[in-house]
Structure 1
Amino acid sequence: MGIVWSRRRSDAMVQGRALHFVLRVGDREVAMKFYREVLGMKVLRHEEFQEGCKATCNGPYDGKWSKTMVGYGAEENHFVVELTYNYGVAGYRLGNDFLGITIQSKEIVEKVKKAEWPLIETPDGIVIEAPGGYKFYVEDKEQPLKDPVQKVSLAVSDLQRALNYWTKLLGMKIYHRDDTNMVVQLCFEDDQCKVELKDIGVAIDHASGFGRVAFSYPKKQLSVIESKMKKQKHKVLMALVVLDTPGKVPVQVVILADPDGHEICLVGDTNFRLLSVIDLNADKLVDEAITADTSTQWFVQNRQHKPLA
C-alpha cells in the first residue's frame, strides 16, 4: 500500500528547486515536431555552440551542438526538458536508467490523440514514445494550475541506498513511498515536479543516451553539498565552478553522480533565474538552425553513415 509522507527536511537551509531533465536527440527536426505539435510544449530557449560544453551538458562530445529548452512555461516555475543535439551523432543507445516523464492533463491527452502519433491507451491515460525512444506518460486528469509535468522517473538498483543519497545529501523530502512496488517520490516542495526512484533490482545501464537532472539551490548551498559528497566519498564529476555564458550572467555549477551513476547538475538559483528567462525568438532560432543544418548531407556526400553514439 502506498503511504504519503509530508515530514520536514532536517536541513532548514535547503531551498532546492527542480529545473529540467536533459534528453539527447539524433534527429532534431523530428524531435521538435514531437515536442511542439504532439505534446504541445513551447520552445523556451535555443542556443548553438561550436564546441563541447565545459560542464558536459551535451555529453562527452567535443564538436558542434545545440541546446533547446521546451516546456509548458518558464523554468522559474515549470519543470522543462532540455534537448541536446550533437551535429555529428545520428542517435543514441538507451539503457534502463530513464523510466519516463509523467504529464497530467486531459487537454494534452486529447492533443496527443489528434496528432495521430503512435500511442498506447491505458485506464489512467496514454503512453507515448518520443523520437529516440524516451517514454512519456500523459494522465487523463485535470491539469494542475501550476505545471502539468508531475514527475521524472529514474531506475535505481538499491532503493534504500538511493534514498539516503537523495534525502540526506541533496535535501529532498519523501512525498510518497510504496514499499510493495519499491518506488519512492521525492521533492523539495509539494507543488514541484517529483523525482521518482524505482528499484528495478539489477545494475543500472546508462548506455550512450543517458540524461541528467538539474536542480537549483542558493549558491551558498552548493559548496555545502559538494563538501558532503566528498566527505561521503560520492562522485563529484565537476567541482564547483563559475561558468561564463556569452551575453548572459555567469552561473555557479557543480556536477554530481548518485550511487547508480545518474548525473545531477546543481546551479546557483539567483543567476540561473536570470539565465533561464524565456527568449521570444526561440522558435525562430531553432527553425533557422534546423534549416541550416547540413551535417547529414555531409555524411551522405562523403559516402558515410552519420554515426550512432
Structure 2
Amino acid sequence: MALRRALHFVFKVGDRTKTATFYRDVVLTFLQILRHEEFEEGCKATCNGPYDGKWSKTMVGFGPEDNHFVAELTYNYGVGEYQLGNDFLGLTLQSSKAVSNAKRLGWPLTEVGEALYLTHAPGGYPFYLVDKEQPPSDPVQKVCLAVSDLQKSTHYWTTLLGMKVMEKNEEKKTVLMGFTDTQCKLELHDICGAVDHRTAFGRIAFSCPREQLPDLEALMKKENQKILTPLVSLDTPGKATVEVVILADPDGHEICFVGDEAFRQLSMVDPKGNELLDKAMAEDKSDEWFAKHNRQKAAA
C-alpha cells in the first residue's frame, strides 16, 4: 500500500494558549503553524469529538503535510479540560534543539534512556525527544498506541489496512509498522489490559487515493469491523471538500482515511496560519479564563 501515507494525529486541546507556547517555543523550534481554521458547528465526522458547538483546528508540523507527519490541535470552545486515558503512549521526534529549548525554558523533562527524554504537552500527552541533530527529513519518527491483544491488532493493521511490519520486540511487546520506510511509523504496544480512551481520545489519519475509499469501507463491512463514519464529504469554507471514512480498530482507536487528491489541496500551507491562530486566541475570552484558572490551580 505504498500509495497510502501517514498524515497526522489529532489532539484535543483545553488550554490553547499554553498549547501554542509548547509547540511554538518549547519543543518544536522549527515548527510551523501550517493552517488554522474556525468552524461554527461540530464536524460531521466528529473530527473535534462528540461536540456540536464552535471549534477550531490548528495544524502544526516541521513542514508541509505533503511530506511531514503533523499534529492536528482541535479546540472546542468552552471545554477547558479532557480526561486522559491510557490509549496514547507517545509521539517520538528527533531534535537536540527541542531538548535544549525545554531545558532552557524550564519545561519538565525526564531522561528515560540514552539520548532520550520524556516530556508532556499541555493536557498530559507524552512526547519523547531524541537528543540528536534534527534530520533533514521529517523529525517525527513514530506514534505509539496501546493495544490489548498485539496479535489481533497487528493482523488488523497489516492484513486489513495494508501496513507492513518493520520491527518486532517480544520483550517490550511492541510492533513497529508503516506504509513505507520513509514515513512516520505506528508502534503498537501491548499493555496486557483494557485500553481506556476517556474523553481525551485522539485519532490518527492517513490518506489514500480517493478511489480506494469505497473499497476500504466495503472490506471493513465484509470483515465485520467497526465503521464509525461511513464515506462522507467534509467541507471547509473556501477550501477543497474532502471525502473520509472513519474506522475503529479492535481497541477502539479512531482511524481516518481521507482521499489524497483533495486533501493535498486542502492541506496547502497557509502563510496566515500563525496570524489567524493569534487572532482567534485574542478574541476568545474562554482561552483567557482557562489560562488564569490553570495558573491558579498550579499555584495552589
TM-score range, shorter chain: over 0.9
RMSD: 1.4
What residue is the counterpart of 1:32 in the other structure?
A: 20
Deviation at 1:121, TM superposition (A): 2.1
What residue is the counterpart of 2:128 in the other structure?
A: 137
- DSSP-derived class of the 2:245 partner: strand
- DSSP-derived class of the 2:271 partner: coil
- Matched to 2:121, the amino acid is A
1:86 maps onto 2:82 in alignment? no
- DSSP-derived class of the 1:131 partner: coil
Deviation at 1:86, TM superposition (A): 0.6
1:22 maps onto 2:10 in alignment? yes
* Identity score, percent: 60
- Counterpart-to-counterpart distance in 2, 1:280 and 1:298: 29
Deviation at 1:14, TM superposition (A): 5.1
Taking a change above 3 Å as real, the CA distance of residues 195 and 298 of structure 1, as seen in their structure-2 partners, is closer
Q: How does 1:22-171 map to 2 (within 5 A)?
A: 22-39=10-27, 40=29, 41-122=31-112, 123-171=114-162
What residue is the counterpart of 1:232 in the other structure?
A: 223
Query: What are the Cα deviations for residues 162-198 of structure 1, in whole angstroms up to 9, with x where unaligned?
Result: 0010001110111111122110111111010000000
Taking a change above 3 Å as real, the CA distance of residues 173 and 151 of structure 1, as seen in their structure-2 partners, is same
- DSSP-derived class of the 1:69 partner: strand
- DSSP-derived class of the 2:67 partner: coil
Q: Please give the TM-score of this superposition, normalised by the length of structure 2.
A: 0.93
Q: Does the 8 Å contact 2:17/2:287 carry over to 1? A: no
Q: Does the 8 Å contact 1:109/1:125 carry over to 2? A: no
What residue is the counterpart of 2:296 in the other structure?
A: none
Unaligned runs of 5+ in 1: 1-12, 300-309
Taking a change above 3 Å as real, the CA distance of residues 172 and 290 of structure 1, as seen in their structure-2 partners, is same
Total equivalences in the alignment:
287
Unaligned runs of 5+ in 2: 291-300
Deviates more, 1:42-51 or 1:236-245: 236-245
- Counterpart-to-counterpart distance in 2, 1:297 and 1:142: 36
Deviation at 1:15, TM superposition (A): 1.4
- Matched to 1:222, the amino acid is L
- Counterpart-to-counterpart distance in 2, 1:193 and 1:16: 12
- Counterpart-to-counterpart distance in 2, 1:89 and 1:100: 23
Deviation at 1:242, TM superposition (A): 2.2
What residue is the counterpart of 2:294 in the other structure?
A: none
- Counterpart-to-counterpart distance in 1, 2:173 and 2:23: 31
User: In structure 2, which of residues 229, 232, 248 is the aligned counterpart of residue 257 of structure 1?
Assistant: 248
- Matched to 1:68, the amino acid is T
User: In structure 1, which of residues 195, 200, 214 is the aligned counterpart of residue 191 of structure 2?
Assistant: 200
